[in-house]
């Protein structure tokens, strides 16, 4: 049984990669469930109109469900839409639903259109009697106003990389976007975490991509890699994360190990910045 400590500060990570199908949603829900299984309090914000994160967390998200759309467009407090996942009493989800598909366009004419998620999150964090340890934001694949809201609200960018040929191309594109957001909207934003996913030890290509990412990003890349696994891809159709669906599978074990690394790194970084302050 692994022991980790939660310093009582809310870390806000946006899971981003401008490519679709690289494992953003899978990583968001499984890291969230793994952190919850370690005793952390975790909120997943589903910012993708497809609602796959809400589905995987077993949270209803039909057209009548209060959703992150109501938060962004009508100014609802997050607490009005947050649900508890049936998987764990410390795992929460602000669901997306079909209305979010229109939000990208509706946001254009809103006041402070880039800051609306940040305002809602800051209010929600302040309201908590027991602090949330993590907020994980699952982004759509495009760089529209939804993703910009996530980049403005977060401190950390968490990049899942699929172990395939064009991975590094997506990475330089993402870093360019992060620099742009840093300059204009959120100076704190930085790439903190890279996770290699869908790793297949039998292919030379997987190995090469992993080596290359690690040589360029040794500080950001987690040591744990997520293997390609049928159990991981099956779990959402049961409305579950792989942590609940098959906790002893290789995929679940890898996601738990990655979660431990993320939690421990944050604790070390918190200690670093306290040292610098004193
Ligand atoms: P994104 O959110 O970036 O579009 P998803 O998380 O939805 O990507 O993943 C894309 C597809 O790949 C999904 O069908 C998902 O089940 C599958 N998938 C993700 N990670 C793995 C993995 N480690 N092993 C096998 N399939 C995976
Ligand atoms: Mg997704």
| pLDDT score for 68 | 98
Q: Is the CB of 61 under 6 A from ligand 1?
A: no
Q: Is the CB of 145 under 6 A from ligand 1?
A: no
CA distance 194 to 222: 6
5 within domain boundaries:
no
4 within domain boundaries:
no
Which domain covers residue 103, as residue numbers? 11-273
For residue 27, give the ligand 1 atom closest to its CA: 6
Q: Could you tell me the two tokens for 131? A: 């602090």
Q: Is the CB of 91 under 6 A from ligand 1?
A: no
Closest CA to 47 of 85, 91, 81: 81
| pLDDT score for 271 | 54
| pLDDT score for 135 | 98
| pLDDT score for 269 | 65
- Is-contact 224 261, C-beta < 8 A? yes
Q: Could you tell me the two tokens for 106? A: 């509706």
Of all protein residues, whose CA lies closest to atom 5 belonging to ligand 1? 23
CATH code at 20? 3.40.50.300
For residue 17, give the ligand 1 atom closest to its CA: 3
2 within domain boundaries:
no
Q: Is the CB of 65 under 6 A from ligand 1?
A: no
Helix and strand totals (H; E) in the chain: 11, 7
Beta bridge partners of 158: 15, 193
CA 102 to each of CA 70, 78, 273: distance values in angstroms, whole numbers, following the listed order: 12, 19, 41
Number of domains comprising the chain: 1
39 within domain boundaries:
yes
CA distance 159 to 111: 29
For residue 48, give the ligand 1 atom closest to its CA: 2
Contacts of 148 (CB under 8 A, 6+ apart): 114, 181, 185
Helices (H), 8-63: 24-37, 52-56
E strands, the chain, are 11-15, 42-46, 83-84, 91-94, 134-138, 156-162, 190-197
| pLDDT score for 272 | 53
Closest CA to 92 of 24, 44, 30: 44
- d(CA 38, ligand 1 centre) in Å: 23
Beta bridge partners of 44: 93, 136
Ligand positioned closest to the Cα atom of 50 = 2
Q: Could you tell me the two tokens for 71? A: 């938060």
CA distance 46 to 38: 22
Contacts of 140 (CB under 8 A, 6+ apart): 47, 48, 49, 50, 146, 147
Q: Dump the DSSP string for 64-102.
A: TS--HHHHHHH---GGGT-EE-TT-TTEEEE---TTHHH
CA distance 127 to 229: 39
| pLDDT score for 201 | 87
Give me the residue label for tokens 């938060």.
71
Q: Dump the DSSP string for 98-110.
A: TTHHHHHHHGGGS
| pLDDT score for 268 | 65
- pLDDT per residue, tens digit, the chain (278 aa), is 788 999 999 999 999 998 889 999 999 999 999 999 999 999 999 999 999 999 999 999 999 999 999 999 999 999 999 999 999 999 999 999 999 999 999 999 998 999 999 999 999 999 999 999 999 999 999 899 999 999 999 999 999 999 887 777 778 889 999 999 999 999 999 999 999 999 998 889 889 989 999 999 999 999 999 999 999 999 999 999 999 999 999 999 999 999 999 999 986 665 555 454 44
- d(CA 188, ligand 1 centre) in Å: 29
CA distance 262 to 46: 20
Of all protein residues, whose CA lies closest to atom 19 belonging to ligand 1? 23
Q: How long is the chain?
A: 278
CA distance 135 to 65: 21
Q: Is the CB of 206 under 6 A from ligand 1?
A: no
278 within domain boundaries:
no
Ligand 1, residues 15, 20, 23, 203: which to mutate, most atoms within 8 A of Cβ? 23
For residue 22, give the ligand 1 atom closest to its CA: 3
């Amino acid at each position: 049984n692994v022991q980790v400590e939660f310093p009582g500060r809310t870390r806000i990570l946006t899971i981003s990669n401008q490519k679709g199908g690289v494992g953003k949603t899978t990583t968001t829900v499984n890291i969230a469930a793994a952190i919850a299984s370690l005793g952390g309090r975790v909120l997943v914000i589903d910012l993708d109109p497809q609602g796959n994160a809400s589905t995987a967390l077993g949270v209803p998200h039909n057209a009548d469900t209060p959703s992150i759309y109501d938060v962004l467009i009508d100014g609802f407090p997050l607490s009005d839409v947050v649900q508890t996942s049936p998987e764990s009493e410390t795992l929460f989800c602000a669901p997306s639903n079909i209305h979010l598909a229109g939000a990208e366009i509706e946001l254009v004419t809103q006041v402070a259109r880039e800051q609306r998620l940040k305002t809602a999150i800051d209010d929600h964090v302040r309201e908590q009697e027991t602090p949330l340890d993590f907020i994980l934001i699952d982004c759509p694949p495009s760089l529209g106003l939804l993703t910009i809201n996530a980049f403005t609200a977060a401190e950390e960018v968490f990049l899942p990389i699929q172990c395939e040929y064009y991975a590094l191309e997506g990475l330089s594109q993402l870093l360019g976007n992060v620099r742009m957001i840093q300059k204009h909207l959120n100076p704190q934003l930085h790439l903190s975490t890279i996770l290699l996913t869908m790793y297949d030890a039998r292919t030379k290509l997987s190995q090469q991509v992993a080596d290359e990412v690690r040589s360029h990003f040794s500080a950001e890349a987690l040591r744990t890699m997520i293997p390609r696994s049928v159990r991981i891809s099956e779990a959402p159709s049961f409305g579950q994360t792989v942590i609940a669906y098959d906790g002893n599978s290789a995929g679940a074990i890898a996601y738990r190990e990655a979660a431990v690394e993320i939690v421990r790194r944050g604790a070390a970084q918190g200690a670093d910045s306290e040292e610098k302050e004193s």
